[in-house]
């Protein structure tokens, strides 16, 4: 086993342990937000390999970052400069305890989505109106050439965007903003 593959295994193992500890975190009856749920590390890494082939950028934002596991993978495996935002203060504190740049997200409108080359979002809101508002804000404010990845959204990315992975049947993928 090479040192690189050993490093990836160690990172994925650590991420799985953190995700397991937080799997049932959150109010499962909150009408607006969803409790944090992990996105399979292997699926995330597979999508990110495709994304990295399409960008020279290195600024990554995880929208609804939870305990920061996707930021850890993006940083440790792909060498990206990562940031994350989440509405749950306990999740933000967990991400920070891992040495990650995570911020509490009090108002959707006041976050600068234009600074990032890659944005990851996996449906942070249960309420369709909140999710729809977030998606429209992110779609509109991303800079041209930035990549949006993740899924389970209310809306498909605009038709003018270039798909990298478009598996809308499974409601996930990655698209480059026109």
At the top level of CATH, the class of 3-176 is: alpha beta
pTM for the predicted model, two decimal places: 0.86
- Which among 108, 107, 84, 100 is positioned nearest to 36, based on CA atoms? 84
Torsion sign over Cα 113, 119, 125, 131: positive
Question: How many Cα neighbours within 13 Å face the side chain of 51?
Answer: 29
- Asked whether the beta carbons of 155 and 137 are under 8 A apart, the reply is no
- Indicate whether 90 pLDDT > 70: yes
What is the pLDDT, as a whole number, of residue 146?
98
**How many angstroms separate the CA atoms of 133 and 131, rounded?**
5
| Residue position matching structure tokens 């305890």 | 97
Mean pLDDT of 121-131: 86
Question: Domain residue spans in the chain?
Answer: 3-176
């Amino acid at each position: 086993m090479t040192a690189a593959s050993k490093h990836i295994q160690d990172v994925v193992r650590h991420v799985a342990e953190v995700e397991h500890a937080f799997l049932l975190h959150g109010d499962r009856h909150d009408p607006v937000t969803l409790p944090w749920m992990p996105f399979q590390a292997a699926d995330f890494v597979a999508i990110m390999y495709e994304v990295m082939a399409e960008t020279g950028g290195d600024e990554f934002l995880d929208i609804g970052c939870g305990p920061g596991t996707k930021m850890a993978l993006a940083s440790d495996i792909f060498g990206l400069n990562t940031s994350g935002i989440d509405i749950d203060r306990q999740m933000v504190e967990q991400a920070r305890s891992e040495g990650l740049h995570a911020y509490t997200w009090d108002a959707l409108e006041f976050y600068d989505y234009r600074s990032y080359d890659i944005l990851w979002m996996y449906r942070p809101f249960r309420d369709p109106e909140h999710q729809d508002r977030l998606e429209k804000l992110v779609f509109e404010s991303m800079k041209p050439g930035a990549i949006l990845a993740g899924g389970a959204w209310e809306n498909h990315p605009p038709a003018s965007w270039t798909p990298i992975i478009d598996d809308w049947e499974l409601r996930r993928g990655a698209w480059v903003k026109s």
